[in-house]
Amino acid sequence: MPIRIRYQNDTGQECTIRPTPLVSISTNILKDGANEAFGVTYGITLTGTLLADQGTPYATKHIPTVGLYPYHGTPSPMPNNVGPYGTFDKNIGHTNNGRPPKQQVPTNQAATAIIQKQKALRALFAQDGQRVEITDFDEDLPAVICYPRLVDISFTEGIYIERCDFTIQLEADTLLFGDSLKVDQEGTLITGNIQVDKTEDDLLGSLSGAFISSYDESWALEVDDAVGESVGMPRSYRISHDINATGKTHYVPDGDKSRKVLAWEQARTFVQNRLSDNITDYPNVMGKIGSGTINLVESYGGFNHIRSENISESNGTYSVSENWVIASGSAYENFSTSTSSSNSEAFVNVSIDGNIKGLSQITPSGFGSFGVSAYDNALSKYNNITNSGQFGLTSDIFSRANNQVAVQLNSQPLSITIGSNEYNGELTYSLSFNNRPTNIISGVLSETISVSDTYPGDVFATIPVLGRATGPVLQYVGSRTEYKRDISINLVMDYTRIPYGNTRNPLILKKPSVIEPTASQIADLIVELSPKGEPGIRKYFVNPPSENWSPKDGTYSFSLSWTYEMDT
């Protein structure tokens, strides 16, 4: 059973060790703590003997200047010598014609010959990833092919007069067979199950395999009381995921040579194949952590995904740490309210100040189109609680303010202040509500309505009298003045009613008394405020109305007065 090593993976330097060492192949199935197989390592032990005047490597007097000891009856050196120092030949078979010739080594130089053979053997295995073949007694077809790493080479102690025993320990990740270099089936455990009729390129490529010596993976769940989603959910949760692997430097057949894949690259491939690009996939961690002890609903999702990696090329390790914030929504919110009232003001005021922190749905691989940003989620949260900025009775933020007082607040805030930090994904707001009556006119930010009634007074004459110290003489003429009513309506329109052009349309045609439904609402309000239909009014007359419109400010005012007469 010849042992043949392709020195430096040069097809012209196939080196055979003779006498053939004893061969032992052990299989070490790599398993994690859960006893699940994730790989295999083969230990190949060559136990042999070096003879001073026989076998290969051939004995040399002094490397590298003097050369080989002469052969018995054979020209020296032989024309097909290969390998380190030219101490091996290409012969394969163990038949008489294939055996190496005996050398003429003087007894007093036997130790030198053996020591030089040790040097040649160490040089032969100085490079990892060389092709090693184990063949049958007289066949040229290898039964086992591998590209191992050298673990150890040792020589027994002795005086080295006739012989020296040696042990070479090799380590391989796969055993190959046939011209197609297919992987033995038990060697495909790196994929998690046995694959049939696969090459190493299949394992490393389409099957996403990786050769590692160990790995560790852990998940952790922790509570964060610093932030919460709502009053009902005052705390948040964080999930961390850590995975690390130690790879094995591996040599992949590449034509007549081999291709080296570094250990840390193998570790990286293994780790990244276990990671998910879906940022909400932690994966199904609710079934792994806290089952039966933490009441988290399945609707929780993962946000603020952060992934950090660490590479140690010298140690062949690669590790990744991931962290998520898990929440049922997409943003955190903190808010505070305050209530004030005064005897100098008719209304109760409620102020509410809040901070919204958005949660990122962007994958660690990039920004832009890769998910939803934290700021977008913060803005979405604000729109959700404010009814897209329209507020109203159904908006959450109005309900919070209204619940602070016993009166019914106006659903439209008195003032709105919004701040944003897009970089940090934060949005702040400050709102003020009071219990002023609801606006009558739609589409206005504020409205002021005033009614002034002037009642009849005496009609009298003022007669100046010369020299009268007490002033003029006042003479009642037996009559009374008229009844009068003056009204004014002042509106501040919202931005949708403000013209942004510079032509008649929209400067004039955007006027509240022109567009609907504002025009009809103003007309109806005027009717309600007029003396028309009031009891005891016999007749009334309308004085010239006055209208003021500031298109660029959005302010509008309308003034009107009536003079009317009572029955009695």
| Residue 50 to residues 111, 157, 437, Cα–Cα distance (Å) | 11, 13, 108
Confidence of residue 428 (pLDDT cuts 50, 70, 90): very high
C-beta of residue 133 within 8 angstroms of C-beta of residue 142 = yes
pLDDT digits (tens, 9 = 90+) for 2-15: 889 999 999 889 89
Full-model pTM = 0.63
Other C-beta atoms lying within 10 Å of the C-beta of residue 410: 17
- The H-assigned helical ranges of 19-81 are none
C-beta of residue 103 within 8 angstroms of C-beta of residue 89 = no
| C-alpha span between 66 and 270 (Å, rounded) | 51
Which residue, 347, 341, 332, 355, is CA-closest to 431?
A: 355
Confidence of residue 209 (pLDDT cuts 50, 70, 90): low
pLDDT digits (tens, 9 = 90+) for 149-201: 999 999 999 888 889 999 999 999 888 877 777 777 665 555 555 556 677 77
What is residue 244's predicted lDDT score, i.e. its pLDDT?
A: 93
Domains of the chain: 3-173 (2.40.30), 210-327 (no CATH), 337-434 (no CATH), 444-454+481-566 (3.30.70)
Please tell me whether residue 423 adopts helix, strand or coil conformation. coil
The proportion of the chain whose per-residue pLDDT surpasses 70, expressed as a percent, equals 84
C-beta of residue 43 within 8 angstroms of C-beta of residue 29 = no
Q: What are the φ and ψ backbone dihedral angles of 15, each rounded to 5 degrees?
A: -110, 130
pLDDT digits (tens, 9 = 90+) for 39-91: 788 999 999 999 999 999 999 887 555 678 888 776 655 556 899 988 988 76
Q: Does pLDDT of 210 surpass 90?
A: no
Confidence of residue 475 (pLDDT cuts 50, 70, 90): very high
Structure tokens at 250: 């591996």
Pairing status of strand 317-327 against strand 301-312 = antiparallel
